[in-house]
Amino acid sequence: MKNILYAAWLLAFAQNLFSQSLTENLILDEELSALRAINVTKKATFSDLCKMVLIHRNELEKYATDEERCARLAELKIYDTAAVGHIHLKPATKGAVAKAVLNLYNLEKTLLFRLTGIEWYAIQNAEILSLIDKGSNSWDNLSGEELVTIMDIAMQRAQEQSTWMQPKNPYKEFGFETYPEMEQKTKPLEPEKKTEDKADEAKPAAPPTEDR
């Protein structure tokens, strides 16, 4: 009876693993298919931008339609897609992409963009961070390949920024975690005290006493 139960448990566990790996593969296939389609697009649309943002957030599979995906961007305050209109027809501009990636990764923002949120200042901000080529206009269209590249650079900048924010341990480069540890392991040994030679020498015999 125990063997039967154990075999049934193993079968259920194997089926669970198989279904989990199958789901993960389907999610990966969906993301890769979306990336391939966007990468060859000559003029990226707002629906492409919404897909890319959710791919970077690992949320693409959670929303079945492009409308739901773009609504998610508005919900997260990454970009106000409600004002866009036809997301499949309206081209994504460099200003919109710059604003979206700055908000997505919470990258370092200039004062003017932080105060106004205007795409023109988002472009200038993106140029400073080398996300977009200098001389770009906020209304410029871009290809799918350019969209993918900007998103990848933004992700790299976010990773770099996360290391800037971490406090640096000044003792790490010397191979130690704390100052007491470094002091203890680098403290010179005290010289051994020399033993007096006289202690090792035999004491002289006392002179013989005279008989009276």
Q: Is the pLDDT of residue 82 over 70?
A: yes
Residue 3 lies in a domain: no
Average pLDDT for residues 176-190, to the nearest whole number?
Answer: 69
Residue with the bigger pLDDT between 125 and 18: it is 125
Token pair, residue 210, equals 């005279």
Question: Do 44 and 92 form a contact (C-beta atoms < 8 A)?
Answer: yes
| Mean pLDDT (the chain, rounded) | 80
The whole-number pLDDT of residue 30 equals: 82
Distance of CA 155 to the CA centre of its chain: 7
Confidence of residue 180 (pLDDT cuts 50, 70, 90): confident
Residue 175 lies in a domain: no
Confidence of residue 13 (pLDDT cuts 50, 70, 90): very low
Residue 208 lies in a domain: no
The whole-number pLDDT of residue 161 equals: 82
Residue with the bigger pLDDT between 31 and 175: it is 31
- Kindly report the CA angle at 29 between 25 and 33, in degrees rounded to 5? 175
Confidence of residue 38 (pLDDT cuts 50, 70, 90): very high
- Kindly report the CA angle at 150 between 148 and 153, in degrees rounded to 5? 110
Residue with the bigger pLDDT between 36 and 21: it is 36
Place of tokens 């290391």: 163
Q: Is the pLDDT of residue 17 over 90?
A: no
The whole-number pLDDT of residue 106 equals: 92
Q: What are the contacts of 128-131 at 24+ separation with CB within 8 A? A: 129/154, 129/157, 130/157, 131/98, 131/101, 131/157
Question: Do 112 and 106 form a contact (C-beta atoms < 8 A)?
Answer: no
The whole-number pLDDT of residue 162 equals: 77
Q: For residue range 143-171, what is the model confidence (pLDDT) as tens digits? A: 999 999 999 999 999 988 877 656 666 66
Residue 188 lies in a domain: no
Q: Residues 6 or more apart from 178 whose CB is under 8 A from it?
A: 171
Residue 33 lies in a domain: yes
Q: What angle do the packed helices 94-104 and 144-165 form, to 10 degrees? A: 30
- How many domains is the chain partitioned into structurally? 1
Q: How far is CA 185 from CA 71, 173, 195, in A?
A: 58, 15, 27
Confidence of residue 114 (pLDDT cuts 50, 70, 90): very high
29/21 Cα distance (integer angstroms): 12
The whole-number pLDDT of residue 160 equals: 87
44/38 Cα distance (integer angstroms): 7
Residue 7 lies in a domain: no
Residue 161 lies in a domain: yes
132/147 Cα distance (integer angstroms): 10
Residue 152 lies in a domain: yes
Domain that holds residue 117: 25-165
Question: Do 200 and 208 form a contact (C-beta atoms < 8 A)?
Answer: no
Instruction: State the first-to-last Cα distance of the chain, in angstroms, to the nearest integer.
Output: 111
